[in-house]
Amino acid sequence: MPLRETAPKLPPEQYEQNFADITPPYNPRQAAIEAARCLYCFDAPCTIACPTRIDVPAFIKKISTRNLRGSARVILEANILGQSCGRVCPTEVLCEGACVMHEKGEPPIQIGRLQRYAVDYVLDRNIQLFHAGAPNGKRVACIGSGPASLACAAELARAGYAVTLFDKNEWPGGLNTYGIAAYKTRAQDSLREVELVRELGVTFCQKTEIPRDISFADLEKQFDAIFLGVGLGETWALDLPGEDLHGVYGAIEFIERTKSEPFPKVEVGRRVACIGAGNTAIDVVTAARRLAAETVYLVYRRGHREMPAFAYEYELAKKDGVAFLWQTQPVRVLGENGVVTGLECVRTELGPPDARGRRTPHPMPGTEFTLSVDMVVRAVGQKPITHFLRAIPGLALNPDGTVVVNESHQTGHPKYFAGGDCTNGGKEVVDAVAEGMAAARFLDSWLGASRACLT
Ligand SMILES: Cc1cc2nc3c(=O)[nH]c(=O)nc-3n(C[C@H](O)[C@H](O)[C@H](O)COP(=O)(O)OP(=O)(O)OC[C@H]3O[C@@H](n4cnc5c(N)ncnc54)[C@H](O)[C@@H]3O)c2cc1C
Ligand code: SF4
């Protein structure tokens, strides 16, 4: 069924322009100039601020001496997804946010772009820096092939484990392939990086859903340990009347289409309302505008001071011409003949801060109004995946549905370890990588099989 009205179609090259890299790669001259600005701080606050503790001064120094292979080695040793992290990390609040240049009133060193420059050098030339360790006879399964599982698998393969990844999606990479805004990274960038893990001898079983296709009992028989890197599930529903109308999408579903289909084929309304104000909501509204939606509203029941999105993401959406409706709560989705035609909203006033310091919105009777829209996108967070994890004996879930792990990333069932979004509730790629790597090290010491043969 078509939407009531769709955004006008653009020439194909215009879509490519709209979704072009927001931080284009450096050329050698630009990289050399930027690397030369680094002060190589002894205490490296940038490294401390990086969840994977990449030795930032060391890799930048190697760029300045034109040792790009050595530079990439420093990065990938600490973070096998260094290429995508260089593109997608919220560097403003991580490494670059900690850069001492801020104290001097100068722009921070562009660590993310330099990181990408070094790793692209080895990826472009198919330089293989690491090899699988001598086989130690142990087998590990990873459920999911997102950043957490990829990092866990790479670390284990280098220590001699036979690792198999099972993922229900067609392509590996998790949200790195299917979720992150196309103007930050494309699916093919993520897939190229996955090859670094495959080259270590890791086996990928895509289109394999656990436990539908292989039971937990069978996995437990075939593998010595299992890593859960299943991420989070679909977008939460809002329980609004009219939410089942055609033209109401979950944010993940909409963004996934922008990553897996040619841009001209992605159906988008002429007028779009997105509910929510986190980073995912920003990805939705910017994607809708870049797909030529004429009017895009971001509807949020609190004020802009309370918005959970990073400040620079908000700036991006402002530049894209998104209309922000603060202190506005959706009441119902309106439709005709089963198709979205509008979103009824009510203005809110904010009460005093709650225990978490967030001001509670209260609808103000008599302030109802209707937005005429052709599409409504829910961007209010992802549901945890709980249904099948409950089938694992001993595995406990927190009240918010995330998997309970101890400081060694081990779950209540000793054979199962976990990390990434399914344990942290949804953070960044770099956090998933850090947790996947840490889980691999603890899993290795639990199995005691490593021959300390990293190559
Ligand atoms: C829209 C969006 C934009 C984002 N943008 C950024 C960004 O700009 N920068 C950033 O750093 N982070 C961003 N993130 C967050 C980042 O993508 C995640 O933190 C990261 O991907 C988490 O990795 P993960 O491996 O834990 O989970 P995921 O990447 O979600 O991977 C989980 C994998 O498990 C598979 N799986 C689940 N259940 C099963 C099953 N039963 N059987 C088999 N396979 C299964 C899934 O198919 C999936 O491939 C974004 C997230 C979203 C939703
Ligand atoms: S991985 Fe991310 S946070 Fe860490 S140094 Fe690289 S860009 Fe910065």
What pLDDT digit, counting tens, does each position of 44-57 carry? 999 999 999 999 99
Name every protein residue with a CB atom under 6 angstroms from any ligand 2 atom: 50, 52, 54, 56, 79, 85-86, 89, 91, 94-95, 111-112, 115, 430
The one-character DSSP state at 366 is T
Give the rounded distance of the alpha carbon of 331 from its chain centre: 30
Model confidence over 8-62: pLDDT tens digits? 999 999 999 999 999 999 999 999 999 999 999 999 999 999 999 999 999 999 9
**Contact (Cβ atoms closer than 8 angstroms) between residue 80 and residue 105:** no
**Contact (Cβ atoms closer than 8 angstroms) between residue 197 and residue 235:** no
In angstroms, the CA 253 to CA 249 distance is 7
Grade residue 327 by pLDDT with cuts at 50, 70 and 90: very high
DSSP assignments along 182-211, one per residue: TTT--HHHHHHHHHHHHTTT-EEE-S--TT
Strands 248-250 and 203-205: unpaired
Q: Which of 59, 115, 429, 431 maximizes ligand 2 atoms within 8 Å of its Cβ, making it the mutation to test the pocket?
A: 115
Strands 232-235 and 382-384: antiparallel
Cα(50) to ligand 2 centroid in Å equals 5
Question: In 261-367, which residue ranges form alpha helices assigned H by DSSP?
Answer: 279-290, 311-319
- Burial environment of residue 348 by CB neighbours within 10 A (0 to 12, 13 to 18, 19 or more): buried
Q: Which of 89, 152, 168, 175 maximizes ligand 1 atoms within 8 Å of its Cβ, making it the mutation to test the pocket?
A: 175
Grade residue 77 by pLDDT with cuts at 50, 70 and 90: very high
Cα(178) to ligand 1 centroid in Å equals 8
Report the nearest atom of ligand 1 relative to the CA of 430: 11
- How many helices and strands, by DSSP H and E, does the chain display? 16, 16
In angstroms, the CA 48 to CA 46 distance is 5
The pLDDT of residue 449 is 63
Cα(280) to ligand 1 centroid in Å equals 12
**Contact (Cβ atoms closer than 8 angstroms) between residue 348 and residue 327:** yes
Question: CA angle, 429 as apex, 237 and 284 as ends, to 5°?
Answer: 40
Cα(227) to ligand 1 centroid in Å equals 15
Model confidence over 331-385: pLDDT tens digits? 999 999 999 999 999 999 999 888 888 889 999 999 999 999 999 999 999 999 8
List the residue whose alpha carbon is closest to atom 8 of ligand 2.
95
Name every protein residue with a CB atom under 6 angstroms from any ligand 1 atom: 88-89, 143-149, 166-169, 174-176, 179-180, 184, 209-210, 229-231, 252, 255, 279-280, 283, 385, 388, 420-422, 427-430, 432
Cα(221) to ligand 1 centroid in Å equals 27
Closest C-alpha to 228, from 27, 416, 31: 416
The pLDDT of residue 79 is 98
Report the nearest atom of ligand 2 relative to the CA of 89: 2
Cα(28) to ligand 2 centroid in Å equals 20
The pLDDT of residue 450 is 55
List the residue whose alpha carbon is closest to atom 27 of ligand 1.
231
Average pLDDT of span 99-105: 96
C-alpha distances out from residue 70 to 58, 61, 122, 135, 212, Å: 9, 10, 10, 26, 44
Closest C-alpha to 455, from 133, 115, 140: 133
The pLDDT of residue 453 is 43
**Contact (Cβ atoms closer than 8 angstroms) between residue 72 and residue 114:** no
List the residue whose alpha carbon is closest to atom 49 of ligand 1.
174
Q: Nearest ligand, CA of residue 83?
A: 2
